Structure 1
Amino acid sequence: MYFGCCPRLNIRYPSALASRANREKSESAQDTWEPCEYRCIEFDTSLPAQVKCTLGGTGAGSKELSGEKIQSPHKMSRPRKEVISWLCYLSAALASHAASAYSPAKEQLMEYWQIAAVPVLVGITTFTTGFALAPMAFAPLSEVFGRKPVFIYTGVLFVVCQICCGATSSYPGMLVAQFFAGVGGSTYSSMVGGVISDLYASNERNTPMALFSCAALFGVGTGAVASGFTAQYTTWRWVFYSQAIANGILVGSFALFFSETRSTVLLRRKASEFNALHKMAEQAAAAAGDADSIPRIRWKSREDEQRSSVAKLIKISVTRPFCLLFTEPVVFFFSLWAAFAWAVLYVALAAAPLVFSTVYGFSLSESNAILASMCVGSVMFAPLSIYQEKFARHLERLPDTPEARLYFSCVESALLPVGLFVFAWTVNAAVHWIVPAIAIGIATMGIFSIYLAVFNYLSDTYGSVSSSTLAAQSFCRNGLGGVLTLVTKLMFTKMGYGPAGSCLGGIALALTLVPWALVFFGKEIRQRSRFAE
């Protein structure tokens, strides 16, 4: 019998999928049967009853469940979601750890290469440059090939480059290795937001995003503390070797325990398995002399049908973030806000050892241990950021709008300028060192609030293009952080600790107006946007 045959769909494939598509076409061309009906597959699609019946009769009935077991990532079991999420949180912490671990080794590197501090710190700038640029290419690759292979391959690159950083005897070699380490480590942070979006619905994302933000800030503190002790009591080479070991274990964990979360990749797998089962059923029916009993159907993913080539995807991924950055006021000011907040972390990495060693006479390890206050601040603020929104929604006090994400940050982001001002004017031999250390923790809480608000608001507002808005703010964030690292020592020594800290605090205070403006005018701004949803 003839089963609902229709013309082939005009399907465009990414270049990596073209060979498989061509093989299927050539196989179809060799068939003498009637042409196939091509259908778009969904997660709830089941095999036609005729196919199931035929496969059961051939003893292959158990195979029919292989494709139907593939479900939407939103429907994954809770334990599996937790395993995937915690792998991502750990990866974010190790990426931030790598960004902050370089600075404490600068004294040994200066002596080893006989160069000044600023050239040595260029290694941080090259790392953040790779960290900022690479996600624009990796994001579309993860959409086509899946999150897991991108995590694993870039993780291997990260480990190899960390080993190269520890083994090199060349200053240019260190800069090159640091750049590619930034490229490899970038997915450990930039792709986590995409994985969270894959796994959780919009109203469920606040908790995983808060834990992700906590991990990113916690890693900055651990990098400085661990590297300070490592550099003082061993050698700068073990700063990098220790990271290579930790990241090697993480890559192995991704290979063993991470399940693919990208829905388009899962649908493509389901379509491939369904097509294989259809062919088995067709062959069995033909052998039984009843070929017309099986519908001639082939399955395709709707997203693959509509997707352009990988080259075009990368071009869009590289250009769209800058288009949004300079044409969307929300993206521009949020990127500026997040960039400055994150840059303060890099300033602290350079300023804390300088300040605490000169004012309080701390050693290298003791000066960097002060940055453990970042870890304390992020851990203390995480429960608040999780439960405050749940509590407000329980009381039905939060409207279902993107601006609702900003209510708490309007107040909590003020912790950043407060922490900066307190740090600036309490760094004094007459004041106990615990006071400026607490100030760093307070500023970290403000950064946490800003980081979380920016991610949540941009994701909710820009929907399908939110990855581009997040790429824009990531580029600004890492770019500004890498540049300010080079001028921190000069700024604090020339201006003085108090004026330099107050300058940063004043800028942070002015930027706290950004969420207030969107709370009052965000709806009107979104309505005039070409990209907001």
Structure 2
Amino acid sequence: MPRTSSQILSSGDKPGITPPTDRLYPQKADLEESVKDDSEDREGMSDGGGAIVYHYLTFETELPPPSAIHLSSNQSLQSLQSPQSPQSPLPGPPNLKKYTSPFEWSDFHKRFIIWLSCAVTALTAFSAGSYSPGIEQMIAEWHVSGVAALVGITAFTTGFGVAPMVLAPFSEINGRYPVFMVSGILFVICQLCSAVTRSYAGMLVARFFLGVGGSTFSTMVGGVVSDIYHTEDRNTPMALFSGAALFGTGWGPLVCGFVAQNTTWRWIFYLQTITCGVMIALVCVFFRETRGSVLLSRKAKALNRWYEAREAAGYYGFDMPSDSADMEKVSQRIRWKVKSDEERSSIGKMIGISLYRPFHLLLTEPVVFWFSLWVAFSWAVLYLTLAAIPLVFRDKHHFTLSQANAVFASMCIGSILATVLSIYQEKLAKRHGKIASTPEGRLYFSCVESALMPIGLFMFGWTSASRIHWIVPTIAIALATIGIFSVYLAVFNYLADTYHRYASSALAAQSFCRNILAGLFPLVTTQMYKQLTYGGASSLLGGVGALLTLVPWILVFYGPRIRARSRFASEIME
């Protein structure tokens, strides 16, 4: 007798290779016995008769075995015995291994996907920071003001903040991989366009679409993390993701400061065209789909195609559990469907919700509003350094262009230290049972560490003098970076843990605020530091940062009460 589907699918047979005939098809005597024994079961199923029954498929569904061989009435036993009418070959089963739930992937596979995603995130952030070292050459070539030249950063962050609201629904329907691939190609093309453009307007257009292409490798990597890791295991991959974003922002001006001083600003973008092209090629080859609902839909389609091929060859029925108490199983013509496909709205409606709900949460949910303000200010401070660091170190310490941008190495070091600290401090706390099983448990460390951002700002402002060694404000930048990292990671984790099914909208709200404000700060940096003095400007920023540091403290003490009053968060608590 033929093997069951579970035996076939779990066998060592390689996909696409047909096993020996005697393992898949019955011999003549077996066939006669099978037809005789199953004559009653075949009523209503010959010639494709019998209604197809649809069942919901999940990753936990145990696939039923095929019923005994059923032949359509026009395939009589005599015709099967005739050498002129050989038996139709039984179609081989599909390879379902590639549709395994991402939560069940091996640790190596998960780490590889995370490291690949973080590498692309770092390159995306590199593009944001790499623009500033070429500002002086652009001003000279296009005869625009310094503020106008810095609008290239604003154009990038605008595309970065707006695009995910439109692209996110596509990733839910078609998966992460197609969106990553298309966005990556756009990203590389826009890098090349930035390098060859001959006009200021062309640069702004290229930078905007560069932000659109790069946005998926930042905002959606958080979704990739949630696709393959359960909540309790997400701290380490989220720390790596956050560290990659901050590291890349400092790495960009660090490298491109030397490029701009020794060549032309165009080589800043030629260099990125090459490196990003190589990395996107690696993503296209090695990245695998992580969206569970998409994989499940593909698994259902693969099984349904196999069932259709079996029926076309004359083999009907699978043994399904019966609702009747006196029958263990019943043979059915089955097809699979996925609940998430039925619950999904049209793409137009999904884009509408994606554009509307983040702002609705921003204006109606105090947690989303204050967290968005907190992380937006912190991120704006990070981008402010793109203009502030060259200004201070060239003015007060008479650094060259490359030397001033080399100071961004402190930002890279700070992001690495913050990442390592975040990974090991939670492991240590879990070992001693100090981490609570509530969203507020994610905020304990950030309550203390986020204070390093205003401390670093005060220290940077009041040590930016010629008489003080340049290493002191450099250390201040590293401290502020650790504080910004703590804010960034806390906001991502807390909103994801609190809003669950609405988490993507809550994160989209903070992402929009964060990128728009970050794009505006570099435009006013020079005027603010010259009008308020270096110490005064940094003190103003440090004071605002100190006030916003109260946000996690309030949530630690009153978070459960605030969440209970939230219509969106309370749905999860009930």
Query: Partners of 1:234 and 1:166 in 2: how far apart?
Result: 13
Alpha-carbon shift at residue 130 of structure 1 (Å): 0.3
Which structure 2 residue ranges, 5 or more long, are not aligned? 1-46, 72-86, 318-329
Correspondence for 1:103 among 113, 123, 132? 132
Q: For the Cα contact (< 8 Å) 2:310–2:316, is it kept in 1? A: no
Q: Secondary structure at the match of 1:39?
A: strand
2:417 is aligned with what amino acid?
Answer: M
Q: Which residue of 1 aligns with 2:417?
A: 380
1:398-413 aligned at under 5 Å gives the runs 398-413=435-450
Whether 1:42 and 2:58 are equivalent positions in the alignment is yes
Alpha-carbon shift at residue 323 of structure 1 (Å): 0.4
Normalising by structure 2, report the TM-score. Answer: 0.84
Whether 1:217 and 2:261 are equivalent positions in the alignment is no
Over 3 Å counting, the alpha-carbon distance change for 1:34 and 1:133 in structure 2 is same
Query: Partners of 2:457 and 2:361 in 1: how far apart?
Result: 31
1:338 is aligned with what amino acid?
Answer: V
Over 3 Å counting, the alpha-carbon distance change for 1:274 and 1:432 in structure 2 is same
Q: Which residue of 2 aligns with 1:504?
A: 541
1:330-479 aligned at under 5 Å gives the runs 330-479=367-516
Alpha-carbon shift at residue 383 of structure 1 (Å): 1.4
Q: Which residue of 1 aligns with 2:215?
A: 186
Alpha-carbon shift at residue 32 of structure 1 (Å): 6.3
2:182 is aligned with what amino acid?
Answer: Y
Deviation by residue 1:371-416 (Cα, 9 ceiling, x = unmatched): 1100000111211101111111111122200000000100000000
Query: Partners of 1:385 and 1:265 in 2: how far apart?
Result: 32
Q: Which residue of 2 aligns with 1:131?
A: 160
1:281 is aligned with what amino acid?
Answer: R
Q: For the Cα contact (< 8 Å) 1:44–1:71, is it kept in 2? A: no
Whether 1:206 and 2:200 are equivalent positions in the alignment is no
Over 3 Å counting, the alpha-carbon distance change for 1:48 and 1:441 in structure 2 is same
Whether 1:484 and 2:513 are equivalent positions in the alignment is no
Q: For the Cα contact (< 8 Å) 1:136–1:318, is it kept in 2? A: yes
Over 3 Å counting, the alpha-carbon distance change for 1:68 and 1:348 in structure 2 is closer
Whether 1:93 and 2:122 are equivalent positions in the alignment is yes
Query: Partners of 2:350 and 2:285 in 1: how far apart?
Result: 29
* Stretch moving more, 268-277 or 195-204: 268-277
Structure 1 or 2, whichever has the larger Rg, is: 2
Q: Secondary structure at the match of 2:337?
A: strand
Over 3 Å counting, the alpha-carbon distance change for 1:259 and 1:251 in structure 2 is same
Alpha-carbon shift at residue 285 of structure 1 (Å): 2.9
1:138 is aligned with what amino acid?
Answer: L
Over 3 Å counting, the alpha-carbon distance change for 1:286 and 1:189 in structure 2 is closer
Q: Which residue of 2 aligns with 1:254?
A: 283
Q: Secondary structure at the match of 2:536?
A: helix
Query: Partners of 1:284 and 1:45 in 2: how far apart?
Result: 26
2:278 is aligned with what amino acid?
Answer: I
1:145 is aligned with what amino acid?
Answer: N
Over 3 Å counting, the alpha-carbon distance change for 1:105 and 1:69 in structure 2 is closer
Q: For the Cα contact (< 8 Å) 1:157–1:181, is it kept in 2? A: yes
Identity, % of aligned pairs?
55
Which structure 1 residue ranges, 5 or more long, are not aligned? 1-30
Over 3 Å counting, the alpha-carbon distance change for 1:279 and 1:32 in structure 2 is closer
Q: Secondary structure at the match of 1:516?
A: helix
* Stretch moving more, 412-421 or 32-41: 32-41
Alpha-carbon shift at residue 494 of structure 1 (Å): 1.1
Q: Secondary structure at the match of 1:356?
A: helix
Over 3 Å counting, the alpha-carbon distance change for 1:51 and 1:270 in structure 2 is farther
Q: For the Cα contact (< 8 Å) 1:46–1:68, is it kept in 2? A: no
Q: Secondary structure at the match of 2:399?
A: coil
Alpha-carbon shift at residue 51 of structure 1 (Å): 5.7
Normalising by structure 1, report the TM-score. Answer: 0.91
Query: Partners of 2:269 and 2:295 in 1: how far apart?
Result: 36
Q: For the Cα contact (< 8 Å) 2:454–2:542, is it kept in 1? A: yes
Query: Partners of 2:505 and 2:67 in 1: how far apart?
Result: 42
Whether 1:522 and 2:559 are equivalent positions in the alignment is yes
Query: Partners of 1:245 and 1:279 in 2: how far apart?
Result: 46
Query: Partners of 2:315 and 2:66 in 1: how far apart?
Result: 13
Alpha-carbon shift at residue 254 of structure 1 (Å): 1.0
